[in-house]
Amino acid sequence: MPSTLITCPTCNKSGKIEILEEKMREATKGLLAINIASNIICEHSFIVYIDRNLTIRDYFVADFHIDIPKIESIERIKETNISSKDILDVDLIKLNLHALALSIILKSIFLKKKIILLLDQDFLYKHIYSFFKYITKDAFEINILLITSDEYKNTKKQYKDAIVLEQNKIVQNPKKVINLRNLDVEKNIVNQFLIEPELGYSYIFLKNQIYKAYELSKAIYEFAKNQDNKKEINIFKIAHFLEELYGIKIDLVYLEFLINIVSNYFGIEIPSASESFLGGL
């Protein structure tokens, strides 16, 4: 069984890992995503992408850990049995969709933006469509189109307002709405989804995280909409509202993430943490 030396991109500790040859054959683009859980090489978890020559081509790291609140009333796992078809979908996603691309797609969904994914492996289309339909069900509307690179070159004028991705690269980013430095929550969610070895559980985990983001941002939207003086709404009042409603304290980064959804998806502007602080002076 072949092995390769992996270096943690965070702390630079190294260790050898063995790779199943059949896993290399399953990766259609010739790159294999390997999930390195914490305590395998070091205390950090990350994803490494290697080619058929066992050369490291890329890393994916959630920049820092974010405490995403657990809310039992929202995170009820309704699907106790995941069909073999759905398992196939998620397995193919983990093998063939780059972690950064998945993070950007989630951000685009939260911003209510059309997504064009350039992919030449058309046999994956139905699985990717099915995957995103499942994880956004009863939550966010999604507008995603999969086409080949050649198709896009011939028709790109039709998609001038869309976020366009090819592998892990942004081909088109209208008004620069996607900021790669502002993907902390999405990257944390995607990282946990990808490193979870149980495919069915990872599928439900991702669906629950998306549904939770929808329900919490919708609750903020309803709260803001019903305020007589919308100028007095700030992040501190929203934090108090969610604490009263769900009995939780929410990490400031995650709260900013929710407010961004409210502003872009639901269309109500709410001051950021810094703006709220300055407004209270």
Identify the pLDDT of residue 229: 74
Handedness of CA 224, 134, 182, 114 (dihedral sign): negative
Distance in angstroms (rounded) separating the CA atoms of residues 146 and 142: 13
pTM of the model: 0.84
Residues of the chain with pLDDT below 70 are: 1, 23-30, 63-65, 75-88, 230, 273-281
C-alpha of 94 from chain center:
12
From CA 82, how far away is CA 256, in angstroms rounded?
33
Cβ atoms 96, 124 nearer than 8 A: yes
What pLDDT does residue 66 have? 74
Give the per-residue pLDDT at 281: 42
- For the chain, the first-to-last Cα distance in angstroms comes to 63
Reduced to 3 states (helix: H, G, I; strand: E, B; else coil), residue 236 is helix
pLDDT of amino acid 278: 47
Residue 142 pLDDT: 95
- In this prediction, residue 4 carries a pLDDT of 86
pLDDT tens sequence across 178-207? 999 999 999 999 988 988 878 888 888 999
Q: List, for residues 68-89, the tens digit of each pLDDT value.
A: 888 877 765 555 556 666 666 7
